[in-house]
Structure 1
Amino acid sequence: MEIDLTTPALLFSAISLIMLAYTNRFLSYAQLVRTLKDQYRENHSAVTAAQIINLRKRLYLTRAMQVTGIGSLLLCVVSMFLMYIQLYMVSVYIFGLALILLIISLGISVREIYISVKALEIHLSDMDS
């Protein structure tokens, strides 16, 4: 089975939507950082400190998700260019790398979701006492 120029192009819309979701997530974290910082300055609670630690992990994971997603998109473009200049075998391997980066990005996203759920559990923990 051979791939043509349209095969990597099919991932453009998917990767673009994923990147939009990652960017929205990052922007909401930026707002949350500001809020938590203000809360921690007013009251050094253990819950707020735990939230900040959790949020730091999520920020690093979001950065990794964005970098691997952008890398995937970049390799799709490179793959298309290589097909255009008729280096088909190299383009197939580059496209394979793009797919691997996308898989990694999505895997990191799943991990980040689990950590986000933990953040909500921390937030709700002070209601139990």
Structure 2
Amino acid sequence: MPPDVKSMPIGHVVDYKNSTITRTSTSYIGVVQGEKSIVGDIVTMLISTRKNVIAKGDDIADAESKFLVNARYGSMASGILSSKTFNEATTCTARYFLKVMVKAREGTRATVIYGGTDSVVAEVGAANE
């Protein structure tokens, strides 16, 4: 935890040095950026594969690779590599970054018209914005 943070509300996320720290209903979770893990290696490989097929313009392979990436995350809810802590950390961190994205449009004429679990859509009103 940053030295000046003694506690935080549930669902709040703090970036500190190379960690993202969040509080769930039962604990504080720190995700250290750059640490190696089997799941991280699998997800990195799947994301890399998806970037490659997008660059090639292969829409079918893109849809299949997107499915695999999402399935990998979804499977963390059950199975041999399941982790409630991982799920909570992923959800809290995603919510944090969605809030950052919404805040980034402040001072512009953009209006957020949709926000989901993994995206924010804004109406900008002109092609050059």
Q: TM-score, normalised to structure 2's length? A: 0.33
Higher relative contact order, structure no. (Cα contacts within 8 Å, ≥ 6 residues apart):
1
Larger Rg: 1
